[in-house]
């Protein structure tokens, strides 16, 4: 199980999210408290962010190193500032390659996507059924072989086929599509997801046939005023809210938070 982080709010240096909190993403990589499988998150990392002064595609930094061994990220995170950030440390599912193409966030222009969860026996169960639902453009865009990237591909496919859909609608349809396939092929899956577009965050806590991994959110903490943080585990002591099972959480640009049950 990976560890996820999403931030939307006042412009912030990345190191204030990745390194400075007492239970930062760095600490969660080697000493997680609430993982349901695995012990550490040592199979890579990824950070995504946006340049707030320009309407350009999202930026990403990825590595197959454990975050504690990455010597470049501490320096970059002191230099880069953003008001919308997604972060991730990876615990690879057995059988999935330790390769940069399998590191998140996955990106489609301004869209960023990170996933904590799994599809049971993915290569033998839902790999082909999911790919058969994709248009050729999205099919060809898949670089890796993870269940996470294929869920992202279904989301992008939904947005391209229904361009008037909101991120929430597209995410809900994607989760229902995977659920229907999982029922048909009698497998379980879980999908804690955070999506960003530079202006909003949309997240899910969801599972079929298994327990949902933990996911929390917090708004306007004294340490991080004018901001919302979403995380697999609380980064510090504070008034964290546990996301409900089978729910979609939306953080608007003005930081209003809405939770809808699926």
According to CATH, what is the number of the domain 3-261? 3.60.20.10
pLDDT at 54: 66
- The answer to whether residue 1 scores a pLDDT higher than 80 is no
Domain ranges of the chain: 3-261
Residues noted as catalytic: 2
Strand duo 45-49 + 81-89: pairing: antiparallel
pTM (two decimals): 0.96
pLDDT at 36: 76
Work out the mean pLDDT of the chain and round it to a whole number: 94
73 neighbors 18 (Cβ within 8 angstroms): yes
pLDDT at 98: 79
Provide the 3-class DSSP secondary structure of residue 6: strand
pLDDT in tens, 49-85: 998 666 789 999 999 999 999 999 999 999 999 999 9
Cα–Cα dist 27/39, whole Å? 12
Mean pLDDT computed over 202-219: 96
pLDDT in tens, 180-199: 999 999 999 999 999 999 99
Distance from chain centroid for Cα 57: 17
- The answer to whether residue 111 scores a pLDDT higher than 80 is yes
């Amino acid at each position: 199980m990976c560890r996820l982080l999403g931030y939307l709010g006042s412009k912030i240096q990345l190191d204030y999210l990745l390194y400075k909190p007492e239970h930062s993403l760095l600490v969660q990589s080697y000493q997680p408290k609430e993982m349901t499988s695995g012990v550490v998150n040592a199979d890579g990392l990824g950070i995504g962010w946006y340049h707030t002064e320009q309407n350009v595609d999202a930026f990403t930094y990825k590595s197959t190193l454990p975050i504690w061994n990455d010597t470049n990220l501490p320096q970059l995170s002191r230099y880069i500032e953003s008001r919308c950030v997604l972060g991730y440390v990876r615990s690879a599912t057995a059988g999935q390659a330790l390769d940069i193409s399998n590191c998140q966030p996955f990106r489609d222009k301004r869209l960023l996507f990170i996933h904590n969860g799994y599809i049971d026996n993915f290569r033998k169960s839902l790999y082909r059924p999911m790919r058969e639902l994709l248009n050729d453009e999205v099919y060809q865009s898949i670089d890796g072989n993870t269940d996470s990237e294929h869920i992202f591909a279904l989301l992008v496919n939904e947005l391209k086929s229904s361009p008037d859909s909101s991120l929430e609608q597209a995410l809900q349809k994607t989760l229902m599509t995977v659920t229907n396939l999982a029922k048909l092929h009698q497998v379980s899956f879980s999908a804690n997801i955070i999506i960003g577009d530079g202006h909003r965050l949309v997240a899910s806590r969801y599972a079929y046939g298994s327990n949902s991994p933990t996911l929390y959110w917090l708004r306007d903490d004294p340490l991080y005023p004018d901001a919302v943080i979403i995380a697999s585990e609380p980064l510090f002591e504070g008034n964290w809210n546990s996301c409900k099972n089978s729910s979609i959480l939306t953080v608007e640009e003005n930081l209003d938070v809405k939770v809808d049950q699926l």
